[in-house]
Amino acid sequence: MHQISLWQDLERNDTERVINVASVPLRSPFRYPGGKTWLVPYIRQWLYSKPTSPELMLEPFAGGGIVSLTAIAERLVKHAIVVELDEQVAAVWHTIINDSGGGEWLAEKIINFELSANSVREALDHDTSSTREIAFKTILKNRVNRGGILAPGAGLVKHGENGKGLSSRWYPGTLRKRIIEITRMRDRITFIEGDGLEILKRYQGDPNAVYFIDPPYTVSGKRAGARLYTYPNIDHEGLFNIAENLKGDCLITYDDTEEVKELALKHGFCAKTVAMKNTHHAKMKELLISKDFMWL
């Protein structure tokens, strides 16, 4: 049985209250557009409701990977498989998880980088085919681009936090700590660069798996995901076709639109809105989709 939750930040049925993300340990080296740090208390509640820790969590749209990282760090699941299609993001996960010594290399590279307008420009213009170097460029870009956006066309931070400009999100010591923490858990995480839908299909018959599915939000064609990600387009109907046949339990997140609710209902899911704050601190609703919400 799971231990009783030590976290008091989510009351049962309290889906109206915005989660205070300051109460959630930040474990990802990314600040990810559409990141799910705010969802962590729900993830804990979902996984604590299981009689035993699931053998496997599959996260087919990893991005910054905060959900799998939390589930592994807090031993809410035994193993996690995370999948990402974007080669820039994948380079980071390959380096930290699949490359022995890669995480340590990346952490040192970050610590030794002297950030200035010139050094940023030079580093980002540097053409390289080395996965480690691409990983470094990705982390740098993620930290100096407005909103952490890695997709083409994203601009640099202008004023940043407290007018600190480019350096406002560059915390080398914190990044090193997070990266090293992940390297310590790497035997419990598998990273796959590829199409999340394919991998989901591959593992669909596993009754001991749980699936956390957070796709780009592009159902109506013009929603948020379209400008945030290099790969914003997925087959949403195809995703629901696979999801309804998963043997294990799944939790899907989407933006709160009528099209998504219809899609969910059509495929036999329930949908529930939860409160969150977007990057501009505006209170919004997002949609949680699952077979049932007995745990919430």
Question: Which residues of the shown chain bind ligand SAM in the complex (CB under 6 A)?
Answer: 32, 34-36, 60-61, 63-64, 66-67, 83-86, 89, 195-197, 214-216, 229, 231, 234
- DSSP SS3 for 45: helix
Strands (E), 43-86: 56-59, 79-84
Q: Which one, 115 or 230, has the nearer CB to ligand SAM? A: 230
Nearest to 231 by CA among 128, 83, 103, 123: 83
CB of 163 to ligand SAM, least distance (A): 27
Q: Which one, 201 or 261, has the nearer CB to ligand SAM? A: 201
CB of 257 to ligand SAM, least distance (A): 15
Q: Is residue 33 within a helix (H) or strand (E), and if so which, with residue range? A: none
- DSSP SS3 for 48: helix
Q: Which one, 115 or 199, has the nearer CB to ligand SAM? A: 199
Q: Which one, 38 or 170, has the nearer CB to ligand SAM? A: 38
Residue 256: CB atoms within 10 A of its CB come to 16
CB of 64 to ligand SAM, least distance (A): 3
Evaluate the CA torsion angle 75, 276, 217, 158 in order and state its sign: negative
Q: Which one, 89 or 120, has the nearer CB to ligand SAM? A: 89
CB of 8 to ligand SAM, least distance (A): 23
Select the residue whose beta carbon is closest to ligand SAM and give its number.
Answer: 63
Q: Which one, 63 or 102, has the nearer CB to ligand SAM? A: 63
CB of 35 to ligand SAM, least distance (A): 4
CB of 4 to ligand SAM, least distance (A): 26
Evaluate the CA torsion angle 181, 182, 185, 187 in order and state its sign: negative
Q: What is the DSSP string of 144-209?
A: HBGGG--STTPPBPSS-GGG-GGGGG--HHHHHHHHHHHHTTGGGEEEEES-HHHHHHHTTT-TTE
Which residue type occupies 188? R
The C-alpha atoms of residue 141 and residue 146 are separated, in whole angstroms, by 9
